[in-house]
A and B are shown apart, each in its own frame.
Chain A
Amino acid sequence: MTINTLSQDGVQRQQMPCLTKMERMIISMQDPDMGIKLRNQRLLITVIPHKCSISDEEALHVGQLFVKYGYIYPLKEPRNLILKADDSSYRFQTPYYWMSTRWPASELDYAIYLAKKNIRKQGELIEYEKECYNALHKRINHTWDFVVMQAREQLRASKQRRKGDRIVLECQEQAYWLVNRPPVSPEHYKLTTLTKNTIIEHNRISLARNRVKSSICLESYVKYCEQYQPHDPIMQGCLPSNPWITDDIMFWNMNSETVALPTKLRVERWSFSFMELLNDQMGRKEFLTYLEKEFSAENLCFWQACEDVRHGETAKIPEKVDEVYKQFLAPGASRWVNIDSKTMEKTLEGLKRPHRFVLDDAQMHIYFLMKKDSYPRYLKSELYKNLLARAIVPQETKKSVFPFMRRQRHSSPSPALATQTAEDDGKAKYSNSNSGTASRL
């Protein structure tokens, strides 16, 4: 989706459209009539044609891209792949070496290039090139004879060219490999070592982790889906009726937060897990009533206060934490909660520097206490069973027989769409299910 920087593994597929655009520009730049003026470069006594300089500031950025991707290469400092807005000289790269035609730059070709350089300059490869050379030597050792032979052959053939041509070809090849195998700086090495160390640490921790058998995990999904299927309106429909189909919002009314009597499905859901009970406003209220009878209501209040700290405003955290301490944790507090001494010590220590998660350990402890003890007893209690028995199972409302008696709902019509809305009206009156296609496999 975005243009990624050149990576060692080769150009990403997504770059193709950008490259094609660049190439079209490059071609038009070299047009003899409309393109950039090309002059001859004097290299000692050799005259090399087709050099140009770029000084127009507006074109600087586009030019930078050209240099970065290897369509133009600088002559004076070939290793410095930037475009300078002065008189320095550049040359266009031959289409043979364009990124779109020659990628992925193969290891074999790079090996041949390095071997050639090695032979020619008699072992004067730069540091990183030496490393690459050695690494390649190890990796493709089996074809090394071929590599050396090719290198020698190419050197011999180039000797037979005119000096001008030879220099151009060498520059082109060098520029190509500078773009495709950029030099690696020492900082980069340090960074890579650091990254590798972090990865190794991460992998070690990951290896030591406890893994559950896949059969157990799959079983849990099957159970979960089965348990929740009656509650999934897309799978099993809903009572009294789906508001989206029948335009009747009774379902939402019956399941709102503050309804007098809840539906049976809703009450059943509270028995699925403790979180389900706590997430439902009404469920929490019922549970609180039960806990009050058991004289352990302070647990739920404490849990709620901790949630408030966790999800509330940062500025209010210190005062909220202080309140919690006074009400629930201080010795002799009015609603003292029973936490084990270790957790209590840790929490009190943390209270000296209150932050959002300072009450987490205590909250966890009370949560598990309620989950293991009060929650199962609540589900077996008379209070819950009564509610379940009294809970409503809504009657299914029949779909209205005469579709044109349904109230139409329109968004506020924009003047531009006025005519279209009128058309839609007509269509909707005769069938309410034509706008989407039924499934076809």
Chain B
Amino acid sequence: MGEMEQLRKEAESLKDEITAARKAVQDLTLQDHVAGTAVVGRVQLKTRKTLRGHLSKIYAVHWGDSKLCVSASQDGKLIVWDSYTTNKVHAIPLKSSWVMTCAYAPSGNMVACGGLDNMCSIYNLKGKDGNVKVMRELAAHTGYLSCCRFLNDNEIITSSGDCTCVLWDIETGSQKTVFAGHLGDCMSLGVAPDFNTFISGACDFTAKLWDIRDGQCRQTFGGHESDINAIGFFPNGNAVITGSDDASCKLYDLRSDQELITYQDSGIMCGVTSLAPSFSGRLILAGYDDFNCNIWDSLKAERVGVLSGHDNRVSCIGVTPDGMACCTGSWDSFLKIWN
């Protein structure tokens, strides 16, 4: 036990030194720095389309390109929408209706989903006979699947309630790398624009940056006071934005290895469920438990807009790859496209 005490003390002292090193590079506050930046002004987005068709709570939505998106709902369906015409391109029935996440491959050939069945199911959209069939079922997690993202048509990364993230080879259905290190359920993940690293947010209140090639955790970011539900990269790939149950979003810079900006407001007391940066990164759209989405000016850390229109919690949000529109999915079973 004496040894444990010693180890604990050593870990603590290192942590303190790291905090000091981080403080040492904090030479300017955000307020001073962005004093000269132009103000954004009020941002008003209106609902352009409402996608109706799900019969139950929508848990996840992911854009494939500027028009196609896939959404997952606990009525046991995965629907691929042409959101511009509001047509349903595919309605895929799922084996397990307890789905919590979905993803669209960048090539547009596949979609994936998973949830309480602990598996990630991959569906091929461009099958020979036009039917959408299960291509692979990736099973090895011992906890629920909270998020999945394609790297390409052969690799997918999943995060799970068993506190690990895994890189899979879709062709063989095997685990290529296991990223272990979180002390709580991994709730979400985001892939870097250069596909060399990815970030994960977990219920141990930290976010970790992982190197895809060697499976190592490169950086850990703390500071949140509750579970991190949503995570995303800033478009230039140098920062990570997280949203948490403690009602705040934070921006962590990878190069200075610390939290630079916090987005919070004394009037907001409910958790953040999802977030997405706009194309330039100037705006951050975050969905909250109080049925609204707030739009934050990412540099000035001020609220510049609200998207209200849902009758229940906003569970997922996504911005199209070309930055044209954003889609919100809610527990009221509707998806709304805003612009």
Q: Chain A residues with Cβ under 8 A from B11's Cβ? A: 196, 199-200, 203
A193 CA to B8 CA, complexed, in Å: 9
Stretch at the interface among A80-88, A151-159, A392-400, A411-419: A411-419
Choice from B14, B185, B227 contacting A203 with Cβ under 8 Å = B14
CB proximity to B under 8 Å, residues A112-143: 131, 134-135
Shortest distance from the beta carbon of A358 to any chain B beta carbon, whole Å = 11
Query: Please, how many residues of chain A have a CB less than 8 angstroms from a CB on the other chain?
Result: 72
Partner of A438, one of B26, B46, B219: B46
Partner of B86 from A193, A411, A417, A440 at Cβ < 8 Å: A411
Given the complex of chains A and B, what is the CA–CA distance between A232 and B282 in angstroms?
9
Given contact pairs A234-B278, A244-B325, A411-B88, A203 touches B30 in the complex (Cβ within 8 A) = no
Q: Which B residues touch A255, using CB under 8 A?
A: 322
Judge whether A412 and B253 touch: CB under 8 Å: no
Would you call B256 and A217 a contact (CB within 8 A)?
Answer: yes
A224 and B279 CA atoms in complex are apart in Å by: 11
CB of B33 within 8 Å of the partner chain: yes
Q: Across the interface, which residues of B come within 8 angstroms of A441, CB to CB?
A: 42, 303-306
Known: A200-B14, A220-B238. A232 touches B323 (CB 8 A): yes
Q: How far does the Cβ of A335 sit from chain B's closest Cβ, in whole Å?
A: 25
Binary contact readout B226-257 vs A (1 if CB under 8 angstroms, 0 otherwise): 01000000111011000000000000010111
Given contacts A314-B154, A439-B305, contact A197 B7 (CB under 8 A): yes
B46 near A433: Cβ-Cβ < 8 Å:
yes
Tell me if A260 counts as interface (CB < 8 A to partner B). no
The answer to the question of B85 belonging to the interface, with a C-beta cut-off of 8 Å to chain A, is yes
Interface segment, one of B68-76, B124-132, B133-141, B331-339:
B331-339
Closest CB-CB distance, A81 to chain B, in whole Å? Answer: 22
CB of A193 within 8 A of CB of B3, answer yes
Residues of B142-158 at the interface with A, using a CB-CB cut-off of 8 Å, are: 144, 151-155
Contact status A218-B236, CB under 8 Å: no
Partner of A189, one of B4, B10, B52, B336: B4
Knowing A200-B11, A207-B17, A412-B88 are in contact, say whether A439-B44 is a contact too (CB < 8 A): yes
Q: A202-B217, A313-B171 are in contact. Are A214 and B7 (CB under 8 A)?
A: no
Contact A203 B15 (CB under 8 A): yes
For B52, give its contact among A224, A226, A235, A417 (CB under 8 Å). A417
Do A234 and B299 touch across chains, with their CB atoms under 8 A apart? no
Is B255 within 8 A of A218, CB to CB? Answer: no
Residue B56 is within 8 A (CB to CB) of chain A in the complex: no
Residues of B within 8 A of A2 (CB): 144, 161, 185
Instruction: Tally B residues with Cβ within 8 Å of A.
Output: 99
Q: Judge if A388 is at the interface, Cβ distance under 8 Å.
A: no
Q: Is the interface of A mostly helix, strand, loop or mixed?
A: helix
Q: Mark A184-217, 1 if CB is under 8 A from B, else 0.
A: 0000010011001111101110110101111111
Please, which residues of chain B bring their CB within 8 A of the CB of A31?
A: none
When the two chains form their complex, are residues A193 and B4 in contact, meaning their CB atoms are under 8 A apart? yes
Of B18, B26, B42, B324, chain A has the most CB atoms within 10 Å of the CB of B324
Contact B33 A215 (CB under 8 A): yes
Could you tell me the distance between the alpha carbons of A269 and B172 in the complex, rounded to whole angstroms? Answer: 39
Query: With a CB–CB cut-off of 8 A, which chain B residues contact A206?
Result: 18, 219-220, 257
- How far apart are the CA atoms of A302 and B48 in the complex, in Å? 44
Is B266 close to A, CB under 8 A? no
B314 contacts A by Cβ under 8 Å = no
The reply to whether B154 and A234 form a contact with Cβ atoms under 8 Å apart is no
Say whether A224 contacts B280, CB under 8 Å: yes
Is A326 part of the binding interface, using a Cβ–Cβ cutoff of 8 Å?
no
- A314 B46 Cβ-Cβ under 8 A: no
Cβ-defined contact, A252 with B306, below 8 A: no
| Chain A residues with CB below 8 A from B85, complex form | 409, 411
Judge whether A369 is part of the interface by a CB distance below 8 angstroms: no
Q: Which residue of A lies closest to B30 (CB)?
A: A218
Measured CB to CB, the nearest residue on chain B to A312 is: B154
Is A231 a contact partner of B279 (Cβ separation < 8 A)? yes
Q: B47 → chain A, closest Cβ, in Å?
A: 3
**Among B34, B255, B336, contact of A212 (Cβ-Cβ < 8 Å):** B255
Q: Does A160 contact B (CB under 8 A)?
A: no
User: How distant is B149 from chain A, measured CB to nearest CB, in Å?
Assistant: 14
Can you sample 30 A-B contacts with CB below 8 Å? A1-B203, A2-B144, A134-B1, A196-B8, A200-B10, A200-B11, A203-B11, A203-B15, A206-B219, A206-B220, A207-B14, A212-B253, A215-B33, A217-B238, A217-B255, A218-B33, A231-B280, A232-B283, A233-B324, A245-B339, A275-B194, A311-B151, A311-B154, A409-B86, A414-B53, A433-B46, A436-B307, A438-B46, A439-B45, A439-B307
Known: A192-B4, A439-B44, A441-B303. 4 other contacts (CB 8 A): A207-B17, A212-B255, A225-B298, A233-B323
**What are the nearest 6 A-B pairs in CB distance?**
A436-B47, A228-B280, A232-B280, A203-B14, A311-B152, A215-B28
